[in-house]
Structure 1
Amino acid sequence: MEIFYIEDGQLDAYLFHEGTYYKSYEFLGAHKIDDGVRFVVWAPNALEVYLMGDFNSWEENDLPFKKIENSGLWNICISNIKEYDSYKYRIISKDKKELIKSDPYAFHAETRPNTASKYYDIKGFKWTDNKWIKNKSESYHKPVSIYEVNLMSWKRKEDNSPYSYRELADELVSYVKEMNYTHIELMPIMEHPHDGSWGYQITGYFAPTSRFGTPKDFMYFVNKCHNSGIGVILDWVPVHFCKNDYGLIKFDGTNCFESENKRLAENEQWGTLNFDFSKPEVLSFLISNALYWHDYYHIDGLRVDAVAYMLYLDFGGKKLKNKYGGRENLDGIEFIKKLNMEVFKNYPYTMMIAEESTAWPLVTQPIDKGGLGFNFKWNMGWMNDMLKYMELDPYFRKGSQKALTFSITYAFSENYVLPLSHDEVVHGKKSLLNKMPGSYEEKFSNLRLLYLYMYAHPGKKLVFMGGEFGQFIEWNEWQGLDYFLLDYEMHKKMQIFVKELNKLYKRESCLYEEDTSYDGFEWIEHTNHQESIIAFERIDSHGDKLIAVFNFTPIERKSYPIGVTEEGTFKTLINSNHKRYGGKIKRVKSYKSTNEPMHGRKYSIRVDLPSLGGLYLKLRRDDQ
């Protein structure tokens, strides 16, 4: 075995330590070179570093690293490594302790419970998604309907084993396409030790988990999504990392990725360690990682987890202040801005979605206008209000009308995604269907009503897997969804409803084109507390209008007056209580306007409002 060392890594080391090496994954980690494979690792306070693996029978001392001059980076090059060879770093700390670590920049890893990194040549996949990439543009004025998925539990085989990336490329992608969703959002697929963490406690930021196959298998999955017209969003966790001893924790015996200040480093809520955003090397690591998933996997966006923990020093209940006496995490805020600037500089049409649960202003505004630079934010307020409202006995909803209407007062302050996410259907919160009050049939009616209202409300859409057919029990990450429920009429009809609602949403520009402006929304009726009825218009960029009317009580309202601005016949685009979807309405009606003024409008129509249901209506044009 030939051993040699690089002589020209000073510029790479300089940029990495400066915090601006946003392609650091091209240098650190294991990379093929002409004469073998080069390994580079950051261990600034180590006394010694050794490479060991399959290629040297895991001998501890015969492959010593050499430090790159004037840096905290170590390197070694060897000649006889093969793809899929497992390896680790043996680090001797400054207090002479031995640490056995996996590679923070590894592209591939052993499958849990094994913990070694694997050498893998990341290059060479034959992409066929050029048309998708070429046609990408901004998402503000497009339909975005996201299907959120946990790959371990979307569907299981008969022996309870999960599907592979390549099997999911057939099974999951075809299902999402059939259901008319525009995007898949994957809960974190970066390598992690514990299935029960759902991927949110990571050990391998640059490695798609080997639970489902190789990195190129995951590329195959993304490629299949794109060729099926489906975008791919990844959950991404730049806030914290797990404490497994082979991971990032005290990487060289000292706090490299975490703060030296224990109170800043500890994340008690999750039993993890927070990244230290004041360290330039951490910025190089994390921003590189965000770009890496775009560069090598062609992803279409990142949903950035737990942004509030990056914005506030005291978010987890700690009594910490910044140097000015405030609660803001100044380093975290700067990291977020640098992250978004760099990502959008390279990928202007990607989606950077903040999962941010506070009232921090201007999250989705440009940085030069005082914002954080994301282009979308989860609307947690809408989600919390709507779920609390829908769980009420319908006869008592009249006292909570504000829960329906308040979200419009801030709907355009940010560019929102409306989420009904995994967090709402676990830990005793019950499934969406089982949250709904009433009889068996009323539960389905309420859930259809919630979806109908959600799709009309300004903002992009996200629904967690299983919600589309009315999963009855709450989500269990250890087993697949209950697809046997589709043998039952009401669940099958719920699935048909969501499928057709997605199709209608993509077809009707009124429902998505003006999601970020009051130009796209106008109230018709929002003060009818007693009958729990609301109505509004959604308007597209050409002034075309769609009327959405909702009845949140179990009492049918015949000939209910709705003000309209134009004369003509209004056709029903969808009625959530139609028999096709599990309701009682056998046929949809059209409604002709009269000269009777109503709701400040010159004309009106009188519609039959179904119990626990709603309608989308649209003026029939001569060409329709």
Structure 2
Amino acid sequence: MAVTSPTDFDVHLFHEGNLFKSFQIFGAHLKVQDGVFGTQFSVWAPNAKNVRVVGDFNNWDGSDYNMVRINEEGIWTLFIPNIGENTLYKYEITTSHGKSIMKSDPYAFYSELRPNTASIVYDIEGYEWDDKKWYRRKKQETVDERPMFIYEVHLGTWKKPKDWKEDEELYSYKQLAAELIPYVLEHGFTHIELLPIIEHPYDRSWGYQGTGYFSATSRHGTPHDLMYFIDQCHQNNIGVILDWVPGHFCKDAHGLYMFDGSPTYEYSRYEDRENEVWGTANFDLGKPEVQSFLISNAKFWMEYFHIDGFRVDAVANMLHWQNSNELVENPYAVSFLKKLNDAVLSDDPEFLMIAEDSTDWPLVTSSTGDGGLGFSYKWNMGWMNDMLSYMEAPPERRCDLHNKVSFSLIYAFSEKFILPFSHDEVVHGKKSLLNKMPGDYWQKFAQLRLLYGYMLTHPGKKLLFMGGEFGQFDEWKDLEELDWMLEDYEMHQKTRVYFKELLTIYKKQRPLFELDHSHEGFEWIDVDNSNQSIFSFIRKSRRENELLVVICNFKPIVYHDYKVGVPIDTEYIEILNSDSSEFGGSEQINKRKLKAIEGDYHGRPYHISLTIPPYGISILRAVKKRGENDKDGEKKVRRNAISRRKGQ
């Protein structure tokens, strides 16, 4: 990083809202000036009367360390000789009211471990990446046509060191690389999504109330340690997504709130500024300097940490003004989000900009040129809420809620969706996914397997919060590690086996991901069987006759000789049955190939007859006929041709 004092052009761009690498001039940067080694400090404090640099190097006395104000808009800078890496510092700001306040550096690259709050001079340069193969693989195929199943993780509670006690050190980024990455590989996830890892003072905010947007939390080590973790993910073909919070921030005294004694990063009006639901402050997204700060922050994580995407938190709360009884559009936020997405995706069109948005705002994932917000994906909160309310209902009531399952297909292709079962659904008294299921012990596991199977076969990419893969029984306890002792219990072991098999099938079967965002990839067979609570549908790939038939039974009843209409005259193989005893089921499976029978059924020219498992899902693959155009078929044709030649 070339470090200079802010130039006139830098200053102009910053105040215009277009300095997208403002981290190069603001913050603390090691440099040599006039042959002298030291650190250049720069900060924006427009309403300050004076700013000093204080730290352990001057016993926190800034009397001789007054920063120089270089413009009327409030940029302050100072070069201090002989200040090196790991120096603790803050800004001592004299407000317009004459009060002295101490603030951490908004652009600091590293911070003290909580409860301490000082910024730390840190050389962000120097990590040697080894992930070129990852970037080459990413360019081979568009992200829309690749499988994507995201594992959402809170690093502090995924797993803790043995015999850990409160206030002791958590797993380091390097330890997590050694344990979490093999676990993710074993289960088949394609991406890890990390709950916010920007510096934050309070553990139970989970990182959503940040103070250091450019500072990877020191709870798990240094920024270079985090780079190592991400590098190892890439070397193992795992993408990394960061949960990112550009809407609001923490109000702790050392952070961004009232940074120079007056509204700086936040809105001036109380009604716009205060996020009363979360006790935070809303960024003033119409202020150019805040736009430069936030877009620079996005580019910083991309450039220095090689992340692959952002899950942009609380988009719904950004699009509409807070503290209003009505949904009133915030035009500053709309404009900012478009600007953000254009700036990020112009650098990397395959980067993942994911909106956590619960509204019906149109065109969230359409390009800004087409009038959209420009996101890559949007969480399908409607699908999640409908499915959980359906699954929590007793089976005898599900016939009355039938459209909860089918409704999502009305709008499934209006946006590019990710289907989320996130941390928000398994905390604060909401119960775990397993414990939401009605019925006895066996029925809970059977329905969880069914839910996961339906999620996998429904159009859209996928996300699951940690612990769901083995059926955590308790909801997420945000100060404790996952209940790993459950691995000693048979049904939890078998749930893990099932989940791994699901993801294996998902990544092998193109119909499950290739046309996720197109009507061409999905077709109902029978969506009207509310009495039996059975749904059947087809998933397709781009290749002719490459398809899967999916049947879901949401009642605890076995059906033998159940007829399902199919589109082509071939044999069908059951490649997954959630009721297999291997997964903890009752073994109501279809072992033999199912031959299509001529005769109209469900509006199809053919049908098959099979066993439908209780609380179960069956996935059937249409067997390709000799010579059909796919890789497996081509190999078989070649083998048959060679065999014939050898026989001549």
TM class, shorter-length: over 0.9
Once residues 129 and 60 of structure 1 are traced to their aligned partners in structure 2, the CA distance between those partners, rounded to angstroms, is 43
Alpha-carbon contact 1:424-1:431 (below 8 Å) kept: yes
Query: 1:119-169 deviations in whole A, cap 9, x for unaligned?
Result: 000001010001112222431111000000000100111232421100000
* Percent identity between the two aligned chains: 51
**2:129 paired residue number:** 127
Query: 1:261-312 deviations in whole A, cap 9, x for unaligned?
Result: 1110010000110001111000000011111110100000000000011111
Alpha-carbon contact 2:6-2:25 (below 8 Å) kept: no
Matched ranges for 1:319-468 at <5 A: 319=325, 327-468=328-469
**467-476 or 534-543, larger mean C-alpha shift:** 534-543
Alpha-carbon contact 2:563-2:607 (below 8 Å) kept: yes
Question: Is structure 2 residue 537 aligned with structure 1 residue 536?
Answer: yes
Question: Is structure 2 residue 623 aligned with structure 1 residue 620?
Answer: yes
Once residues 245 and 280 of structure 1 are traced to their aligned partners in structure 2, the CA distance between those partners, rounded to angstroms, is 24
Matched ranges for 1:287-326 at <5 A: 287-313=295-321, 316-319=322-325
**1:272 paired residue number:** 280
Query: 1:447-477 deviations in whole A, cap 9, x for unaligned?
Result: 0000000000000000000000000000011
Q: Which of 63, 71, 74 lines up with 1:72 in the alignment?
A: 74
Alpha-carbon contact 1:10-1:68 (below 8 Å) kept: no
Once residues 336 and 594 of structure 1 are traced to their aligned partners in structure 2, the CA distance between those partners, rounded to angstroms, is 54
Alpha-carbon contact 1:208-1:215 (below 8 Å) kept: yes
Letter in 2 for 1:381: G
Letter in 1 for 2:150: I
Once residues 393 and 587 of structure 1 are traced to their aligned partners in structure 2, the CA distance between those partners, rounded to angstroms, is 24
Gaps of at least 5 residues in structure 1 are 321-325
Cα shift at 1:347: 1.5
**556-565 or 155-164, larger mean C-alpha shift:** 155-164
Once residues 163 and 194 of structure 1 are traced to their aligned partners in structure 2, the CA distance between those partners, rounded to angstroms, is 17
Aligned pair count reads: 613
Matched ranges for 1:466-477 at <5 A: 466-477=467-478
Gaps of at least 5 residues in structure 2 are 627-632, 637-648
Matched ranges for 1:23-102 at <5 A: 23-35=21-33, 36-102=38-104
Distance 1:380 1:531, change over 3 A: same
Q: Which of 171, 177, 181 lines up with 1:163 in the alignment?
A: 171
Alpha-carbon contact 1:10-1:69 (below 8 Å) kept: no
The alignment partner of 2:572 has SS state of strand
Question: Is structure 2 residue 609 aligned with structure 1 residue 606?
Answer: yes
Alpha-carbon contact 1:186-1:234 (below 8 Å) kept: yes
Alpha-carbon contact 2:272-2:323 (below 8 Å) kept: no
Once residues 7 and 571 of structure 1 are traced to their aligned partners in structure 2, the CA distance between those partners, rounded to angstroms, is 67
Cα shift at 1:8: 5.7
**1:146 paired residue number:** 150
Letter in 1 for 2:501: E
Once residues 8 and 572 of structure 1 are traced to their aligned partners in structure 2, the CA distance between those partners, rounded to angstroms, is 65
Once residues 494 and 127 of structure 2 are traced to their aligned partners in structure 1, the CA distance between those partners, rounded to angstroms, is 41
**2:507 paired residue number:** 506
Once residues 288 and 385 of structure 1 are traced to their aligned partners in structure 2, the CA distance between those partners, rounded to angstroms, is 37
Alpha-carbon contact 1:578-1:588 (below 8 Å) kept: no
**1:208 paired residue number:** 216
**365-374 or 73-82, larger mean C-alpha shift:** 73-82
The alignment partner of 2:218 has SS state of coil
Consecutive aligned runs of 4 or more in structure 1 exceeding 3 Å deviation: 5-8
Question: Is structure 2 residue 294 aligned with structure 1 residue 286?
Answer: yes
Once residues 105 and 7 of structure 2 are traced to their aligned partners in structure 1, the CA distance between those partners, rounded to angstroms, is 19
**1:16 paired residue number:** 14
Cα shift at 1:95: 1.0
Once residues 91 and 414 of structure 1 are traced to their aligned partners in structure 2, the CA distance between those partners, rounded to angstroms, is 47
Cα shift at 1:588: 4.1
Query: 1:210-258 deviations in whole A, cap 9, x for unaligned?
Result: 0000000000000000001100000000010111011001111110001
Once residues 433 and 133 of structure 2 are traced to their aligned partners in structure 1, the CA distance between those partners, rounded to angstroms, is 37
Alpha-carbon contact 2:392-2:437 (below 8 Å) kept: yes
Aligned-residue CA RMSD (Å): 1.3
Cα shift at 1:82: 2.1
Query: 1:69-98 deviations in whole A, cap 9, x for unaligned?
Result: 344110001121121111100000111100
Q: Which of 597, 621, 634 lines up with 1:594 in the alignment?
A: 597
Alpha-carbon contact 1:234-1:303 (below 8 Å) kept: yes
The alignment partner of 1:516 has SS state of coil
The alignment partner of 1:461 has SS state of strand
Once residues 576 and 14 of structure 2 are traced to their aligned partners in structure 1, the CA distance between those partners, rounded to angstroms, is 56
The alignment partner of 2:85 has SS state of coil
TM-score, normalising length: structure 2: 0.93
Once residues 376 and 143 of structure 1 are traced to their aligned partners in structure 2, the CA distance between those partners, rounded to angstroms, is 14
Letter in 2 for 1:117: S
